[in-house]
Structure 1
């Protein structure tokens, strides 16, 4: 791999966006993120911190995952695994630990907690072929972004976060990630710097928030809008006209449903009421 390969994800231009999917972070959300970045748990051995992290992770309804190196799937050895829960960020140094142990593998292969990842096809390929782990319960933030934008074009995690929250990409990255050293960009050099740890924590925390923001504030808002318009189909119609369009096979009013939203496609489902309740609870926790 050449030195230039590691920068590919940060060089592509943003595509034109036909839909407003920008949701700036509030002052409280930025403060909450700053607090979380000051208490990153860096794990290099299976000590008390490691076991506390496992207990916290497995008790979550959803977690955010990120691996580095993040591109090329099975063709790169795992160096770092970053995990964000509702209140904590764990950076597991897989290079130091030597492996992803069975306790963590069991969590990754379970349907719960739900795992939020970006470019899940690469992440899943990596886990399967490097560790024999079949990642389950996947919710892909790139898929959510494609649905919200109603188009499909490459968009790295930093680019997506910049796009959704209106944050400059350069403010999200760190010197090591954009520098000339491939080992620093790919997080294979040791020791990891504080800038690298904060970058990983920032990405994995914002990935979780971005995914939920896209699902609930963008996609669900559009579904609610279409539902409201659909529900008012017969307003202003005479009773005789309404009767003609209420037969079992009638398609009257279906034009109000935007067919671009393929929310029932394989692997994509609408959030349940429990999902929405959990989202609101996490939002409240995040503001503390």
Structure 2
């Protein structure tokens, strides 16, 4: 790696991926001759850990690099030892950006490049909320007060993320865990410890509301029906949504979809101590990295749903709403108020229905 393909300036917020870390921090020093950079207030988003001291990284260590913000962020109260990488359990308030834009595949010795292939960059506020959620995951092992409180919370939500593990082979494997996540809280239900999915949970899963955001619903529905006699209702499948939006029909796991659409690098889901993607989901008690993995998947599955629905699938609708809303506000014509009468049709010309976009077949629904 002889040169950088992006211009670095002191004070920039950088996202740096190494073989074992995904760091965000402020560029404090760069030496092209010695081929090193120094990050101030480095934060490892993969382990949810803030380091106490600056980190020096050599160019050969760096696999990918992105400038994520020009202004200097605020500091984080969480801390780890200079060499530690274990997750913290206190609340995080760092201003950082974990949106890892996907860059072209490269070896550690290839040039650093800033990717232009980008769909969305999560805001600092969104990312702070994600880490707050990761530090307050609720694990449920029995039908106690915590269980019923969780169901009461989930029941009043408009939409929740639903993850069941393992589900790759549908009905073949017994259920280990079920994760239901709201926009505020992630609930991990230990089905092995609980022994079953009970009646009140079945009713919640079969109801049309809250809508359940799932990935690969065909596998999950097969698992629930044949293992627990549950007919899942209110399905929003993020795999189907990605396939429609991108116009492709290729296998894509949830993590792969998050990487492609939200630009969150896969290393965000891994742990240096133990790779949860290859851990035993039936091992008890559930290890911390497994709980974090499940929570991250559920949280970002909701983000994926929100982005695909509102930024892509309803894009034309929101555009028309914006145009229609401006019908009167810029007018200086004195007669404008007269056009606002109850049966007035001003602005209606801006509403254009696309048959390809909204194919509602009411006659079929009536049948």
TM-score by length of 2: 0.55
Are 2:308 and 1:211 aligned? no
- 1: distance between equivalents of 2:360 and 2:269? 32
Identify which of 237, 240, 243 aligns with 1:140.
237
Identify which of 179, 192, 197 aligns with 2:291.
197
Are 2:166 and 1:69 aligned? yes
- 2: distance between equivalents of 1:227 and 1:41? 39
| Aligned-residue offset at 1:258 | 9.2
Q: Is the 8 A contact 2:150 2:187 kept in 1?
A: yes
Identify which of 39, 43, 52 aligns with 2:136.
39
- 2: distance between equivalents of 1:98 and 1:145? 35
Counting only pairs closer than 5 Å after superposition, residues 19-58 of structure 1 correspond to structure 2 as 22-58=119-155
Q: Is the 8 A contact 1:69 1:77 kept in 2?
A: yes
Which of 1 and 2 has higher RCO (CA within 8 Å, sep 6+)? 1
Larger % of strand: which?
Answer: 2
Q: Is the 8 A contact 1:81 1:93 kept in 2?
A: yes
Are 2:222 and 1:125 aligned? yes
Give unpaired runs (5+ residues) of structure 2: 1-101, 105-116, 324-352, 362-367
Q: Is the 8 A contact 1:21 1:218 kept in 2?
A: no
Deviations 1:229-263 (A, max 9, x none): 9xxxxxxxxxxxxxxxxxxxxxxxxxx9695x5x5
The residue that corresponds to 1:221 in the other structure is: 315
Larger % of helix: which?
Answer: 1
Deviations 1:184-231 (A, max 9, x none): 2xx1111111111111111101101111111101222245569999xx
Are 2:258 and 1:161 aligned? yes
The residue that corresponds to 2:359 in the other structure is: 264
Whichever of the two has the greater Rg, that structure is 2
Q: Is the 8 A contact 2:137 2:186 kept in 1?
A: yes
Q: Is the 8 A contact 2:183 2:302 kept in 1?
A: no
TM-score by length of 1: 0.69
The residue that corresponds to 1:176 in the other structure is: 275
Q: Is the 8 A contact 2:211 2:235 kept in 1?
A: yes
- 2: distance between equivalents of 1:219 and 1:21? 18
Q: Is the 8 A contact 1:158 1:173 kept in 2?
A: no
SS across alignment from 1:64: strand
- Matched residue pairs, number? 216
SS across alignment from 2:142: coil
- 2: distance between equivalents of 1:202 and 1:111? 25
